[in-house]
């Protein structure tokens, strides 16, 4: 079933975005802890380098997640950062992307990704292994999970 609050999929052209990232292969059960730790490490590195994030955080997956996910999480920045373990320079891919904005809790992202994948196939397009989420709405203890907005991006061949 399609969540009624998701946007309609579309194909857009995106530019490469320079970022500060932490990359790892993470078990799905440890994903929340990884995100919390990595985002904290990245923000501390940016403060130390006097750099402000230029947009919301993201997670770039190198292939669809299964029991584990090979991913990098990060923040866009306006220049390449110096590597300070575990934070390193990174980027999101450029090119044609199928995009859908998921509205709702993070634990309900799966059906929206499935919907986007099915839509890509129905358009006669071929997805690559690169897919990423942009966390448009900053989660806070006061945020209603139903109000979260997550931009889903799947690069096309």
pLDDT tens per residue across span 53-68:
999 999 999 998 889 9
Q: What is the pTM of this model?
A: 0.92
Q: What pLDDT score was predicted for residue 83?
A: 81
Question: How far is the C-alpha of 111 from the C-alpha of 134, rounded, in Å?
Answer: 17
CA 63 to chain centre: 12
Judged against a pLDDT cut of 60, whether residue 103 lies above it is answered with: yes
Residues of the chain with CATH 3.20.80.10: 1-15+93-157, 17-91
Q: What pLDDT score was predicted for residue 81?
A: 93
Task: Report the percentage of the chain scoring pLDDT > 70.
Answer: 97
Judged against a pLDDT cut of 60, whether residue 155 lies above it is answered with: yes
Question: How far is the C-alpha of 31 from the C-alpha of 37, rounded, in Å?
Answer: 10
Which band of pLDDT confidence, cut at 50, 70 and 90, is reported for residue 1? Answer: very low
Question: How far is the C-alpha of 113 from the C-alpha of 111, rounded, in Å?
Answer: 5
Neighbours of 52 (CB within 10 A): 9
For the structural domain made of 1-15+93-157, what CATH number should be given? 3.20.80.10
Q: Name the class of domain 17-91.
A: alpha beta
């Amino acid at each position: 079933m399609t969540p009624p609050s998701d946007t309609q999929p579309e194909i857009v052209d995106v530019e490469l975005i320079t970022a500060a990232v932490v990359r790892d292969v993470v078990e799905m059960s440890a994903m929340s802890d990884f995100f919390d730790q990595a985002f904290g490490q990245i923000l501390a590195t940016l403060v130390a380098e006097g750099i402000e994030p230029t947009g919301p955080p993201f997670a770039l997956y190198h292939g669809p997640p299964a029991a584990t996910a090979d991913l990098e999480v990060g923040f866009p920045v306006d220049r390449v950062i110096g590597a300070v373990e575990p934070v390193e320079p990174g980027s999101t891919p450029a090119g044609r992307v199928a995009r859908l904005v998921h509205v709702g809790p993070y634990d309900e992202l799966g059906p929206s990704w499935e919907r986007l994948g099915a839509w890509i196939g129905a358009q006669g397009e071929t997805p690559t292994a690169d897919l990423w989420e942009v966390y448009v709405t900053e989660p806070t203890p006061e945020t209603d999970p139903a109000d979260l907005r997550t931009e889903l991006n799947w690069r096309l061949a």
